[in-house]
């Protein structure tokens, strides 16, 4: 056997495996400072890929924020002359286009955007687990568990809105307790109802921590917006990394921290 025929050790692969083992063995704390502290580390470690993820997600979500209807009647001044000269044919055309566009935007918001949001959440979970996020995860929901994602998003939104109808406080409580739904649907491939039940169980005892994280995230976004608007992107990266860290920490706390990276 010659020296050239000897197998060459793959040091890069071994280094990557050691890095993953170190991160998986690291005990994450399901606390406010533990989640935001680890979120900051994760954001720095995978800054470029997470930056692109947040930018892409912002582009995808932005159409749902552009089209808004002004229902304030104080801006409209009508008189009889304007009414008699009003072009009803043009109004009918534009009204029809507005209805079609509204239906399209509603379908886009409910049937398309959640897939990208859930995919982005899973990319941040991968980053927390020490696995380099892959952009294919952003669209993986379209071919893997699309119906679960759509129904889970609709059910979660309905529960939060229904709770807000009665009072703001129940709505906040429900929103905090269902914060892990997207992770569970993508990570554990749970159906919507089971994902909601499991999220409710997992967040028991962590409600105030999650509420505080959400409250501080509001001010983080405000501060990022004040930094010439561009600061909103790293702010979003930090918040998403922190909530993904909280999810992974609670999994470890519950004895199920070795989540599968699908």
Q: What is the pLDDT of residues 111-163, one digit of tens each?
A: 999 999 999 999 999 999 999 999 999 999 999 999 999 999 999 999 999 99
Is 51 part of a structural domain of the chain? Answer: yes
Q: Tell me, yes or no, whether 165 lies in a domain.
A: yes
Position 211 in a domain? yes
6 assigned to some structural domain: no
Question: Which tens digit of pLDDT belongs to each residue from 8-47?
Answer: 555 454 545 445 444 555 689 999 999 999 999 999 999 9
Domain membership flag for residue 247: yes
| 197 assigned to some structural domain | yes
Tens digits of residue pLDDT in 216-227: 999 999 999 888
Q: Provide the token pair at 105.
A: 């935007």
- What is the number of structural domains in the chain? 1
Torsion of CA 138, 144, 148, 153, to 10 degrees: 10
Q: Which domain holds residue 107?
A: 30-62+84-253
Whether 24 is in a domain gets the answer: no
For residues 213-228, b (16+ Cβ closer than 10 Å) or e, as one string?
Answer: beeebeebbeebeeee
Residue 185 lies in a domain: yes
């Amino acid at each position: 056997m010659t020296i050239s025929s000897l197998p060459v050790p793959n040091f890069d692969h071994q280094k990557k495996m050691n890095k993953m083992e170190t991160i998986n063995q690291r005990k994450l704390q399901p606390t406010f400072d533990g989640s935001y502290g680890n979120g900051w580390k994760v954001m720095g470690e995978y800054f470029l890929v997470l930056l692109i993820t947040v930018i892409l997600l912002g582009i995808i979500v932005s159409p749902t924020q552009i089209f808004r209807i002004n229902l304030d009647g104080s801006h409209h001044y009508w008189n009889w002359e304007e009414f008699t000269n009003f072009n009803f044919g043009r109004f009918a055309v534009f009204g029809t286009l507005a209805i079609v566009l509204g239906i399209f935007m509603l379908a886009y918001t409910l049937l398309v955007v959640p897939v990208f949001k859930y995919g982005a959440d899973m990319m941040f979970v991968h980053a927390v687990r020490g696995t380099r996020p892959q952009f294919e995860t952003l669209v993986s929901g379209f071919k893997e568990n699309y119906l679960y994602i759509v129904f889970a998003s609709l059910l979660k939104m309905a529960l939060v809105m229904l709770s807000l109808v009665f009072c703001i406080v129940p709505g906040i409580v429900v929103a905090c307790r269902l914060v892990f739904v997207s992770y569970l649907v993508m990570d554990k491939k749970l159906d919507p109802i089971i994902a909601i039940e499991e999220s409710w169980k997992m967040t028991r005892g962590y409600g105030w921590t999650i509420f505080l994280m959400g409250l501080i995230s509001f001010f983080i976004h405000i501060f990022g917006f004040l930094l010439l608007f561009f600061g909103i992107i790293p702010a979003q990266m930090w918040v998403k990394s922190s909530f993904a860290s909280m999810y992974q920490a609670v999994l470890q706390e519950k004895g199920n921290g070795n989540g599968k990276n699908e």
